[in-house]
């Protein structure tokens, strides 16, 4: 089961397909830190929902696009 934060990140990426870590932090976790955002992204990547290319880009995978 995904956390509300993880679902928010996936929802954000569905509308863009590609975003920076900073953009995701601002849009999905306004009170969160970059460290928290990276932890969420690491978990989503581990499960195959996103590909994290470092701070410059996070991309949604096919699995992430169909997750709910």
Residue-wise pLDDT for 10-54, tens only, equals: 999 999 878 999 999 999 988 878 899 999 999 999 999 999 898
Residue 7 has pLDDT above 80, yes or no: yes
Residue 59 has pLDDT above 80, yes or no: yes
Topology, domain 4-66: Arc Repressor Mutant, subunit A (1.10.10)
Contact 60, 49 (CB under 8 A): yes
Domain parsing of the chain, residue ranges: 4-66
pLDDT for the residue 26? 92
pLDDT for the residue 34? 87
């Amino acid at each position: 089961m995904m956390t509300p934060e993880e679902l928010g990140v996936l929802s954000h990426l569905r509308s863009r397909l590609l975003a920076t870590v900073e953009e995701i932090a601002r849009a999905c976790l306004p009170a969160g830190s970059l460290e928290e955002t990276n932890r969420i992204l690491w978990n989503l990547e581990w499960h195959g929902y996103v590909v994290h290319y470092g701070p410059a880009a996070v991309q949604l995978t096919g699995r992430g696009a169909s997750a709910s």
